[in-house]
Each structure stands twice: as C-alpha cells, then as structure tokens.
Amino acid sequence: MRQQILTMLDLQEAMNSKVNDNWAKMGFSWYRAIWIECAELLDHYGWKWWKKQTPDEDQVKLELVDIWHFGLSILLLESDNRDDIAIAVEQGLAKARPSGDFPADLEEFTRATLETKGFDVPGFATLMAGIDLSFDELYTRYVGKNVLNFFRQDHGYQDGSYRKQWHGKEDNEHLVEAVAALDHSSVSFKDDLYQVLEQRYAMC
C-alpha cells in the first residue's frame, strides 16, 4: 500500500505541475474543491425523501476519486517528505469508522474539511468503507483518471482541440475498457494505459 500511495503522490504532483508549474505557490483552494465534490457526491447517493432514489455507487466512487486528487494536493503542500506523507496516509486509512449512515458520515467529513481546510484521511476512509471502495479499487480508479487527465492535456484539452468522443464513445468509456484489459499490479500500469489510450485515439 505504501508504494502505491507514493506512486499516487508522484502522479498528483506531476498532474498539478502539468496544469501550472507554480501550482504549490498559487494558493488554490483545494479544500473548497473537496466540499463542492461532496455536494455532488451526495446528489449521486441520494438524499431527497420526497422521491425514490437509489444510490449510484459507481458515480459516488468516481466523486471520491476526484476528492482524493484534491486531498493528495493538500497533503503535498503540507510536507516535503513523501515517505512521511505515505506513512500518515496509510495509518489514516486504517481508521475508518463508518456509522452505517453514509450521508451523515459525508457531512462529518465535509464539516472537518471546512473547519480545517485540510484533508481528513480517516474521514475519507470512512466514506470508502461506507460505499465498499477498497484501496486497490481506489488506486486503480485514481491512476486511470490521472492518466486520462494527462492524455487530455497532451492532446489539446486547454486549447479546445481535444476530441472527447472516439468512435462514438466518450473517453471515459474507453478508459474503463482499457483499464479492464491491463494488469493493474504491473509497475508499468500507468504507462501501458497511456499507450492504449494513444492507440485508440489515433484511430478515431
């Protein structure tokens, strides 16, 4: 787990730098991005008592992965020592305490985010447990989304020349198919994934 955390920290640093070389000194409100994602997550989970709603677990997990991106960014700003961050994250992830009431756990996580403007790792682990998101699945989903974000940036996302539809499918759909066909445990997983996306995109 620790090595996977280190890998994700490196990927997050690289992605942030891809968007803005000076990202660490820009004063971005990462905590604000987190609580906005929390609101979107709750919509996918369902909270309206006046209509029938079924939690969209896949979308909830996708929102948690987005929150993880912002959380890692906060942690990278708090320490220059990646090993210390990884150890702390590993310890924090072991402190999941789901109450059985997912919306309440989400609100507690959101409260902690707003009060500290930091990243509540045990609170995040509680949300993972509440929606049955394992660490391995978090890792796979995170690396996949990170690679896709890199791919988008490399192919004109900022100037508007990127094509999000390939062969009648959105890039997210291609990502899911590509991830499913690769060995997630391979040290070259992220590079293999990028290459597959490159091949699919070149054919459209």
| DSSP symbol at 105 | H
- Homologous superfamily of domain range 2-131: Type II deoxyuridine triphosphatase (1.10.4010.10)
Whether 200 shows a pLDDT value over 80: the answer reads yes
CA 106 to chain CA centroid, nearest Å: 16
Q: How confident is the model at residue 203 (pLDDT cuts 50, 70, 90)?
A: confident
| Averaged pLDDT of the chain | 93
Whether 202 shows a pLDDT value over 90: the answer reads no
3-state SS of 159-185? CCCCCCEECCEEHHHHHHHHHHCCCCC
Rounded to whole angstroms, the Cα distance separating 201 from 104 reads: 42
Q: pTM for the full model?
A: 0.85
Rounded to whole angstroms, the Cα distance separating 11 from 13 reads: 5
Q: How confident is the model at residue 109 (pLDDT cuts 50, 70, 90)?
A: very high
Residue range 23-71, pLDDT digits in tens = 999 999 999 999 999 999 999 999 999 998 899 898 899 899 999 999 9
Q: How confident is the model at residue 106 (pLDDT cuts 50, 70, 90)?
A: very high
Whether 204 shows a pLDDT value over 80: the answer reads no
User: Which pLDDT score is estimated for 18?
Assistant: 87
